[in-house]
Amino acid sequence: MKKKGLAPGGISWSAWKLHVIVVSLTLTIVVCMLPFLSLHRFSPSHYSQIPSSRRSLHSNWDSITLHEGQPNPKVAFLFLARRHLPLDFVWKCFFQNADTANYSIYIHSEPGFVFNKSTTRTRFFHDRQLKNSIKVGWGEASMIGAERLLLKEALKDSVNTRFVLLSESCIPLYNFSYIYTYLTASPRSFVDSFLDKKERRYNPNMAPYIPMSKWRKGSQWITLIRKHAEVVADDDVVFPVFKMFCKKRYNCIPDEHYVQTLLAVSNQLYT
């Protein structure tokens, strides 16, 4: 006879549920940290070791050169949240010893939600919400609309040079100093983009604005250099096409295709 309240293997149901929750949270964190996966491969010093002759092969080798009196480049952390940020205590540790001149924070939450002492445990998020946020639906164009609002707001600060899109489930895997140094030393955007020849999400009605040869797929979570952030924020061609033809009922999820396809259409994917 099985003991009441035990899962297979003699594990109590409470322990079993805790195990499932921990595994699920771990998978979520791994997925949302795609913008930082490259950090595992190289240290910031590796960029300085690349010969100048090799750098010239890439038109986007525009690493930042600081002049006397010029402010440090800032990394803009763009949080896309349904409401509050449940892992704010982790981010509190992350920003605790960082120079405030080196970063900025922007949050898109549901309209009317305010980050203050009653809604967040860290002062770093106080009043960082957008004033023009929109209602966002999963798998709808409103998701990429919210991303564009974050980028537009962050681009108003001319010192922001790197733009990191994060979800409410994301946490940093390195300290601020490491991430800041790596991102500002790299002249590249970090965008997961690939061509899936087996998928059927492309709608022929998207042509000629989006040719099938430019259709791409990838992770929603990205890190952009300023010129690529401007391409996304200023787009008034590809975004309307997505709103019209990339919908859940067509089995097309806009946030899995938009930035990747836009950069491909704009010939910015490898520049």
| Confidence at residue 38, expressed as pLDDT on a 0 to 100 scale | 45
Confirm whether 204 is domain-assigned. yes
Length in residues, the chain: 271
| Confidence at residue 71, expressed as pLDDT on a 0 to 100 scale | 84
Between CA 160 and CA 165 the distance in angstroms is: 13
Confirm whether 143 is domain-assigned. yes
Partners of residue 107 on adjacent β-strands:
79, 129
Phi/psi for 106 (5° steps) reads -135, 140
Location of structure tokens 């009653």 = 118
By the 8 A CB rule, do 254 and 144 touch?
yes
Phi/psi for 158 (5° steps) reads -65, -15
Residue numbers of the domain that contains 125 = 71-265
Confirm whether 47 is domain-assigned. no
Confirm whether 42 is domain-assigned. no
Confirm whether 26 is domain-assigned. no
- Structural domain tally of the chain? 1
Q: Indicate which CATH number applies to the domain containing 110.
A: 3.90.550
Between CA 110 and CA 259 the distance in angstroms is: 22
Q: Enter the pTM of the model.
A: 0.76
- Tell which residue, 192, 241, 196, has the closest CA to residue 35: 192
Confirm whether 86 is domain-assigned. yes
| Confidence at residue 31, expressed as pLDDT on a 0 to 100 scale | 47
| Confidence at residue 59, expressed as pLDDT on a 0 to 100 scale | 35
Phi/psi for 77 (5° steps) reads -95, 115
Confirm whether 177 is domain-assigned. yes
By the 8 A CB rule, do 185 and 223 touch?
no
Q: Tell me which DSSP letter residue 253 carries.
A: -
By the 8 A CB rule, do 187 and 61 touch?
yes
pLDDT per position in the chain (271 positions), as tens?
Answer: 544 554 445 545 455 554 544 445 555 554 455 444 444 444 444 434 433 333 322 334 345 555 556 789 999 999 999 999 999 999 999 999 999 999 999 999 999 999 999 999 999 999 999 999 999 998 999 999 999 999 999 999 999 999 999 999 999 999 999 999 999 999 999 999 998 877 789 999 999 999 999 999 999 999 999 999 999 999 999 999 999 999 988 889 999 999 999 999 998 876 6
Confirm whether 252 is domain-assigned. yes
Residue 32 burial (CB count, 10 A): 19
